Each structure stands twice: as structure tokens, then as C-alpha cells.
Amino acid sequence: MKRRTATILTTVLAVAAASTAAFFALPASAETAAFTVQNAWSNGYQAQVTVNNNTSSQISTWKVELTFPAGTTVAQSWNATQAGSGSTYTFTPAGWNATIAAGASTSFGFIVNGAGRPTSCLVNGQACTGTTPSSPSPSVPSSPSPSASTSTPPPTSGTPVQVNGQLRVCGTKLCNESGQAVQLKGMSTHGIQWFPNCYTDASLDVLAKEWNSDLFRISMYVQEQGYETDPAGFTNRVNNLVEEATERGMYALIDFHILTPGDPAFNLERAKTFFAQVSARHANKKNVIYEIANEPNGVSWAQIKNYADQVIPVIRANDPDGVVIVGTRGWSSLGVSEGSNSSEIVNNPVSASNVMYAFHYYAASHKDNYRAEVERAAASLPLFVTEFGTVTYTGDGAVDVASSNAWFDLLDRLKIGYANWTYSDASEGSAAFKPGTCNAGSFAGTGSLTESGALLRNRIRA
């Protein structure tokens, strides 16, 4: 965290020094604020401001005022309270981040509609150091998508990937290449070590063309006869399934399916090796999303963040614009299943941009209090339901239709994407197909579906 902040600041100061027009002279001991563009698209961008306390004593609050050229407005912000409209906006602490220790810093982010960069920046009433010039900031990751989308807008019909292209996190939403919020709907495999015959050309054709699925989640267990038993073999299987999703125009969600033990650190070295390989292999694709830890459990958010802060850079080194999804405390319950909540993440997010946080639920087990927390968290965190079931958390039992529909309504309203557990014929209530379907290869139509499968096929096709 410290090293990264220092890097950003150094970069911004270097930029500012090189472009004197944008450099605001300041006494060396004052607070400063550095503006960086994190992501840009044809009609807007995502920015971050880091407020640095360069004094030798703690400051108790801060205020940043930004002025934008006419036609450019701030749509939403996070980790700050935003006021103002038109051309001038004031950002004050979100509540928990008012105090900045001597030599420390805090950051907030926002989405801008329009391409104009700030023309003036004040922190606690004096000029900021490091407001970028109006030319693109070199701190923007070199992503091919924004310029590509400016010159060639993605088509409006075709496969999900043809329509949406490279995805990016925009504020609390997932956006397509044109900057529009998208909700991806799809299915998760069961453990690929157990159900290889459920993921064939025929089954994936049905998922893509008949179910109209946007998304295919590839669950690679690490334990339980998974990756740890044959790293090269499982990496190969995942790569092949990503290619199958790609051929059919679906997004591929690579799930590093840790479960027991629940401490992701147990698999840190495996994760680094695995993600280095898959991100190198798929770096030039637009349809790959990385889920780095299925369900951490029995560990603090700080430990999960520590794992994420080590794995994400491995992915970014190869695939700088790939969206990464981070599992959350208590089996990806945003902490709720272990007596906590999403504030621990809001207060201490991972040290990377273009990141979402995983939320998992099983409709017969997780109801109103979980839905309330998702609604609350979605106001400040980008969320993705990378796994859910219509049944109990055991993966078995009867479909809870009422709770499932309450969840679908909430996720649709908040535009939160989801993948259902499972596109398989396991003999458990969560499986979409009746036992024996995969051996028989009879995936098409509705004849082989379970109650859960029929519910999901309807939802996803719609």
C-alpha cells in the first residue's frame, strides 16, 4: 500500500514537473492532492485524488475543490462526500477517512462525464500539487480499449463479447467498452475435476446459443483433487475452457476455487503461478475476468486484502485491463456470515483499480439481512455475484422460489452480474441438469432440466 502510493505520487509529481502549466507551486510542508486518471473511455473517465499530508502533524479533516471545463461533470464518487454541480465540486471525507496521520495519505475516486480534466484544484483552500494537464496522463494504464471504442464503436447485436467488448469497472458498476453499465448473467461449472463430461462442445453450444448466457464461470478447485494435484494439467483444462467460451462469444470467469482451507494465503504461491500463466495466455482477449479467491473463510478482511495485493499485480503485469474480482470474508458474504459487514472493505479497499468484490448467496439460506447488506454495499463497492444457488448453502435441497426471485429483482435493479452454481448434472438441488444428462449429452431444450435449471434458463434467456 505504502509503496504503491509512493509510486503514484512520484509519477504524478514527475508529470507535473514536466508540464509547468499544470504545476501549482506549494510550500513543501503543506497538504497536497494528486489527480490521476484511472481509466478512460470515449465519453468519460474514472479518476482518483490522493490527499497527502506532508506536514509533521496529523490533520483532522480535508477538503478538495475541483473545477472542470464546461460540459464536463462529476457523476458519482466514492470514499468521499461530494457536493456541487456544474463546473465546481467539493469533496470532503466519507466519515471514516477524515484524519490523515503525518506523512500519510487517503484517496477517493469518482466518475466524470465528459473528457475535460480539472482546470483548477484546491486542497484545504490552497492549490494542489499535481493536477494533470489536459493531455492524457501517463499514469493511465496503456489499455487499448478506450481509443478503440472511440474509433470503432462495438456493434449493437452479436454475441455478448461482440456487443460489449472489453469490460471495465466504472464507479460501482461494470461497464462495457462504450462506458454503459452491463449486467452479465450466466452459469458456473461444478468442480471441473469431477464433471468434465458436462463441459463439451454440445453443452457449451446450448449454454451460449440456447440459454443466451453472457458468462461461463470455470471453477477450478485448488484442493479436493483439484489444481494442487496437477498444476500443469488443470491450467491446461482452464485454458481450453476459456478458448471454448471465447469461440462462442461468452465472457470467461476464471475461478480459483479455494474453499478449505479458507485462508487464501495457504495457496498464495499456487495462485501466483496459476494467474501468471493464465493471464499471459489470455492477455489479448477481451472476455476474460479473473476471480482470485472463491470463498475465503475463517480469516480477516486484512488477510484477504494482503493476498489480493500480491496476486493482482501478477495478473496486471500481463493483462493490465483485465477485471479482477476479489472474494470477501465469510465465504464471500461481504463478512456477514462471520458477523461483520462490507464497511471493513470500504474502509480498506484493495490497492488496485478495476477491481470488484464477490458476493455469494444460497437463496434458501441467505435472505433479507443479506439482501440489505448487498443493497448498502452496492452504494460504494463494485459487486459481482460470482456464485449463488437457488437452494441451501449445502448445494442441495429444494429451490426457494420466493427468495430466489427476491434476489433476482435486487440484482437486476442494482445491475449486479451473476453466475449460478451449477451447470452440471450433480445429484444435488443446485445442479441445472438431472443426473445422467452429461453422459447422455442431452443438454438442449428443457427435458433434462431440474427445477433450478428451468428457473435459471428462463432468467438467463430473457
Residues of the shown chain interacting with ligand IDC in the complex, contacts defined by CB under 6 A: 224, 259, 294-295, 331, 360, 362, 387, 393-395, 421, 426, 428, 430
SS (H, E, C) 351-418: CCCCEEEEEEEECCCCCHHHHHHHHHHCCCCCEEEEEEECCCCCCCCCCCHHHHHHHHHHHHHHCCCE
Residue 388 Cβ vs ligand IDC, minimum distance, rounded to whole Å: 9
Residue 361 Cβ vs ligand IDC, minimum distance, rounded to whole Å: 9
Nearer to ligand IDC, 251 or 421 (CB): 421
Q: Starting at the edge strand that comes first in sequence, how are the strands of the sheet with 31-41 ordered?
A: 31-41, 44-53, 105-113, 73-78
Residue 400 Cβ vs ligand IDC, minimum distance, rounded to whole Å: 14
Which residue reads 464536463 in cell numbers?
Answer: 72
Q: How far apart are CA 386 and CA 388, in angstroms?
A: 7
Cβ proximity of 68 and 87 under 8 Å: yes
Nearer to ligand IDC, 139 or 430 (CB): 430
Q: How far apart are CA 290 and CA 154, in angstroms?
A: 23
Residue 223 Cβ vs ligand IDC, minimum distance, rounded to whole Å: 9
Nearer to ligand IDC, 147 or 394 (CB): 394
Within 267-338, residue ranges assigned H as helices are: 268-282, 301-318, 329-332
Residue 427 Cβ vs ligand IDC, minimum distance, rounded to whole Å: 9
The answer for residues whose C-beta is within 8 angstroms of residue 389's C-beta and 6 or more apart is 361, 362, 363, 364, 395, 420, 421, 429, 430, 452
Q: How far apart are CA 290 and CA 387, in angstroms?
A: 14
387 is catalytic: yes
Helix 301-318 with 268-282: angle, nearest 10 deg: 30
Cβ proximity of 353 and 48 under 8 Å: yes
Nearer to ligand IDC, 216 or 393 (CB): 393
Residue 50 Cβ vs ligand IDC, minimum distance, rounded to whole Å: 36
Nearer to ligand IDC, 45 or 359 (CB): 359
The partner residues of 449 in beta bridges, in order of sequence, read 433
Cβ proximity of 433 and 425 under 8 Å: yes
Q: How far apart are CA 374 and CA 414, in angstroms?
A: 9
Candidates 121, 100, 126; CA nearest to 27 is 126
Nearer to ligand IDC, 285 or 367 (CB): 367
**One-letter identity of residue 420:** N
Q: Is 264 exposed, middle or buried (0-12, 13-18, 19+ CB in 10 A)?
A: buried
Nearer to ligand IDC, 78 or 361 (CB): 361
The active-site residue out of 65, 373, 387, 428 is 387
Candidates 203, 199, 219; CA nearest to 211 is 203
Residue 268 Cβ vs ligand IDC, minimum distance, rounded to whole Å: 19
The active-site residue out of 295, 344, 373, 428 is 295
Q: How far apart are CA 303 and CA 192, in angstroms?
A: 27
Residue 426 Cβ vs ligand IDC, minimum distance, rounded to whole Å: 5
177 is catalytic: no
Q: How far apart are CA 446 and CA 435, in angstroms?
A: 14
Nearer to ligand IDC, 121 or 363 (CB): 363
Helices (H) then strands (E): counts for the chain:
13, 19
Residues tagged active-site: 295, 387
